[in-house]
């Protein structure tokens, strides 16, 4: 498949007809009559990616002549409910066509990234091989084509999502997920976020070149923004590494928010449709920490947060160890087997702390004050916080009420905030 891309000509974004034109190019496989394909979109936690819409378009185009299977790249997330899938895929994909990815069970090791390579890219911080595991369905030779569909946006583990991350993490196994996340945490997310060639990305590139390139996988990538609560697809890119690089360039232009000065008080809203756990909701921390002032205050409006981890094991580890700083978690990681067996949880706990630089206040409906404080955050009732910090019509940017001023962010998943 040749590389193809469309970048929006105006504020309306890439049109549906332009998207359809790209998709038709993607689906033309010289010498191959498509009979069965596998789509790997994200889940509802990437509601603003445009990937649900694209998946729906592909399914509608092919459903009458091709077997189209859909396996969301869940990573460690819970599978979508029927109601969530209907929202994300615009009612176009039957729920019985959606296959859950089980990251602890349904995976096969197809190789590894050698320890000397990991040591080199991590600057000596990590000196062990990283297994390459993917869902066994991706190795099913009956598929004529596998399309990975995802959004390129600044990311705390890999620097810039998406591309091969969608396969290696979204459809990967526990060892790949655990060790890649720990590599990113030890190296330091501030050194990587918003950049392409991070140590984790280099590991993924190695896996792509040595293992994934042998499979019939192609990538469809989006860059999006939101205006007036509507998703705008700023660009669509189809192909391989070169198209990822073009998408990175556009995302850095559209999703990287440079602040003139550090933010003393930030208020971040988490849409309850997307964010039901701190495992996901802590994007409010990851994406703002480079812009937060020392001694500042981050208030997270989280009406949908009901738990800490996406499964019982991770939830239990978060409750046990808490978001209590990098040094504390690394010490606990060395001492405790349960944490060593779940490095992605340790990495997440490191990411989710400000290391004492600024206060983190979670405003919630469904968790108690004791639960929030137990994991190292401060607590505020949601209604109290929302009435004060989310007035009607508030938009992204600075807002002032009396002597109080804060910087409001409506969705942390759409960008990265940093000081220029």
Three state DSSP letters for 248-285: HHHHHHHHEEEECCCEEEEEEECCCCCCCEHHHHCHHH
Rg of the chain over Cα atoms, rounded to whole angstroms, equals 21
| Mean pLDDT across the chain | 95
State yes or no: pLDDT of 229 exceeds 90: no
Phi/psi at 162 (nearest 5 deg)? -145, -100
- 255 closest CA partner among 285, 231, 282: 231
pLDDT at 234: 98
Q: What percentage of the chain exceeds 70 in pLDDT?
A: 100
How many Å apart are CA 108 and CA 352, to the nearest integer?
30
How many Å apart are CA 333 and CA 285, to the nearest integer?
22
Please name the CATH architecture into which domain 4-256 falls: 3-Layer(aba) Sandwich (3.40)
State yes or no: pLDDT of 32 exceeds 90: no
Q: Please state the pTM of the whole predicted model.
A: 0.91
What band does 364 get if pLDDT is binned at 50, 70 and 90?
A: very high
State yes or no: pLDDT of 228 exceeds 90: no
Better pLDDT: 320 or 45: 320
How many Å apart are CA 177 and CA 76, to the nearest integer?
8
DSSP string of 340-363?
HT-HHHHHHHHHT--TTSSEEEEE
Q: Give the pLDDT confidence of 235-294 residue by residue, as tens digits.
A: 999 999 999 999 999 999 999 999 999 999 999 999 999 999 999 999 999 999 999 999
Q: Give the pLDDT confidence of 110-150 residue by residue, as tens digits.
A: 999 999 999 999 999 999 999 999 999 999 999 999 999 99
Only one residue has tokens 């409001």, namely 408
Write out the residue limits of the CATH 3.40.50.11440 domain(s) in the chain: 4-256
State yes or no: pLDDT of 1 exceeds 70: no
Q: Give the CA distances from residue 128 to residues 109, 197, 313, 364, in Å, rounded to whole numbers and listed in that order.
A: 16, 20, 25, 40
**Average pLDDT value for residue range 26-34:** 83
What band does 28 get if pLDDT is binned at 50, 70 and 90?
A: confident
Q: Give the pLDDT confidence of 207-223 residue by residue, as tens digits.
A: 999 999 999 999 999 99
Q: Give the pLDDT confidence of 64-115 residue by residue, as tens digits.
A: 999 999 999 999 898 999 999 999 999 999 999 999 999 999 999 999 999 9
3-class SS of residue 42: coil
Q: Give the pLDDT confidence of 365-397 residue by residue, as tens digits.
A: 999 999 999 999 999 999 999 999 999 889 999
Q: Are 171 and 135 in contact (CB under 8 A)?
A: yes
Write out the residue limits of the CATH 3.90.226.30 domain(s) in the chain: 260-419
pLDDT at 230: 86
Q: Are 349 and 331 in contact (CB under 8 A)?
A: no
Which CATH number describes the domain made up of 260-419? 3.90.226.30
State yes or no: pLDDT of 33 exceeds 90: no
pLDDT at 358: 97
């Amino acid at each position: 498949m040749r590389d193809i891309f469309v970048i929006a000509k105006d504020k309306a974004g890439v049109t549906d007809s332009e998207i359809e034109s790209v998709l038709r190019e993607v689906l033309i496989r010289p010498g191959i009559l498509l009979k069965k394909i596998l789509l790997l979109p994200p889940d509802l936690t990437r509601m603003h990616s445009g990937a649900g819409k694209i998946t729906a378009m592909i399914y509608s185009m092919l459903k009458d002549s091709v077997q189209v299977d859909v396996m969301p790249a869940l990573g460690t997330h819970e599978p979508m409910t029927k109601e969530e899938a209907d929202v994300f895929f615009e009612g176009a994909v039957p729920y019985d066509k959606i296959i859950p990815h089980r990251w602890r069970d349904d995976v096969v090791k197809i190789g590894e990234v050698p320890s000397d390579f990991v040591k080199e890219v991590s600057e000596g911080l990590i000196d062990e091989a990283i297994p390459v595991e993917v869902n066994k369905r991706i190795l099913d030779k009956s598929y004529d084509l596998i399309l990975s569909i995802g959004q390129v946006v600044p990311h705390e583990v890999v620097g810039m999502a998406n591309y091969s991350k969608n396969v290696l993490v979204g459809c990967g196994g526990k060892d790949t997920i655990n060790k890649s996340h720990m590599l990113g945490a030890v190296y330091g997310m501030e050194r990587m976020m918003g950049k392409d060639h991070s140590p984790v990305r280099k590991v993924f590139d190695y896996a792509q070149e040595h293992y994934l390139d042998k499979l019939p996988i192609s990538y469809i990538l989006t860059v999006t923004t939101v205006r007036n609560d509507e998703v705008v697809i700023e660009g669509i890119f189809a192909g391989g590494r070169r198209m990822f690089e073009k998408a990175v360039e556009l995302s850095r232009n559209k999703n990287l928010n440079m602040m003139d000065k550090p933010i003393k008080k930030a208020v971040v809203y988490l849409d309850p449709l997307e964010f039901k756990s701190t495992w996901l909701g802590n994007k409010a921390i990851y994406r703002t920490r480079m812009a937060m002032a020392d001694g500042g205050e981050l208030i997270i409006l989280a009406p949908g947060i009901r738990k800490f981890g996406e499964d019982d094991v991770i939830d239990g580890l978060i409750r046990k160890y808490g978001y209590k700083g990098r040094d504390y978690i690394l010490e606990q990681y060395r001492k405790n087997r349960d944490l060593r067996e779940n490095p992605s949880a340790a990495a997440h706990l490191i990411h989710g702390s400000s290391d004492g630089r600024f206060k983190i206040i979670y405003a919630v409906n469904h968790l108690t004050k004791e639960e929030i404080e137990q994991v190292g955050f401060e607590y505020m009732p949601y209604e109290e916080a929302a009435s004060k910090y989310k007035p009607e019509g508030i938009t992204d940017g600075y807002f002032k009420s009396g002597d109080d001023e804060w910087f409001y962010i409506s969705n942390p998943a759409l960008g990265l905030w940093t000081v220029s």
